[in-house]
């Protein structure tokens, strides 16, 4: 009997059925398999790059470069404190367990372990980056109009008062 049980368990494992445990365990496994950490760290990196670009526009004098570096370090520390991986990992897993059913989480875990799943997961940040760039470019084309609309509205409010 023990041998039949062991064979059945081995067959299930080979077929891709996950024994991850609770729904929360499955969600935590999805977080690890999908490399959300890397995407999260990329967001922090992008914010730091934007901040550095803003500082470059200020034309900081050479004698104040040390202060600029210090500011950069402080901003990095503040971002890490707010959105560092240690702060977010459990939250991401909680979101997944709130949104997906246990069956869906098992399916994500099983798919993520396949070569096709790994390939798709590696390409996901590329797709997301392209979507962000496209969205930002489209927003920039209408942003002047939005600013004008907001200004016009604000002026009309002032006239009423």
The C-alpha atoms of residue 90 and residue 142 are separated, in whole angstroms, by: 38
Same domain, 107 and 80: yes
7: pLDDT strictly greater than 60: no
The C-alpha atoms of residue 108 and residue 110 are separated, in whole angstroms, by: 5
- Is 84 contained in some domain? yes
Q: How many domains does the chain have?
A: 2
**Average confidence (pLDDT) over 31-40:** 83
C-beta neighbour count of 29 within 10 angstroms? 21
pTM of structure = 0.58
**Which structural domain range is residue 27 located in?**
21-113
Entry field: residues in the chain: 161
Same domain, 40 and 108: yes
The C-alpha atoms of residue 83 and residue 146 are separated, in whole angstroms, by: 30
Do the beta carbons of residue 55 and residue 71 sit within 8 Å?
A: yes
pLDDT in tens, 61-117: 889 889 888 988 998 888 888 888 888 899 999 999 999 999 999 999 999 999 999
> DSSP code of 156?
H
Element (H, E) at 153: helix 115-160
Poorest-pLDDT segment among 7-16, 97-106, 141-150: 7-16
- Is 13 contained in some domain? no
**Residue 101's pLDDT is what?**
95
Give 161's pLDDT tier (boundaries 50, 70, 90).
low
**Residue 141's pLDDT is what?**
92
Same domain, 103 and 140: no
Same domain, 104 and 136: no
Do the beta carbons of residue 89 and residue 37 sit within 8 Å?
A: yes
């Amino acid at each position: 009997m023990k041998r039949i049980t062991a064979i059945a368990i081995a067959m299930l494992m080979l077929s891709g059925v996950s024994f991850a445990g609770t729904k929360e365990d499955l969600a935590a496994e999805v977080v690890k398999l999908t490399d959300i950490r890397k995407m999260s760290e990329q967001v922090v990196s992008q914010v730091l790059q934007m901040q550095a670009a803003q500082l470059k526009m200020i034309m900081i004098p050479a004698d104040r470069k040390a202060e600029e570096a210090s500011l950069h370090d402080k901003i990095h520390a503040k971002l890490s404190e707010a959105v560092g991986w240690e702060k977010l990992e459990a939250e991401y897993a909680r979101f997944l367990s709130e949104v997906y059913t246990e069956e869906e989480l098992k399916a994500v875990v099983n798919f993520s372990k396949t070569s096709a799943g790994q390939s798709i997961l590696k390409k996901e940040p590329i797709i997301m980056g392209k979507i962000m760039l496209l969205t930002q470019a489209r927003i920039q084309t209408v942003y002047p109009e939005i600013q004008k609309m907001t200004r016009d509205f604000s002026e009309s409010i002032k006239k009423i008062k």
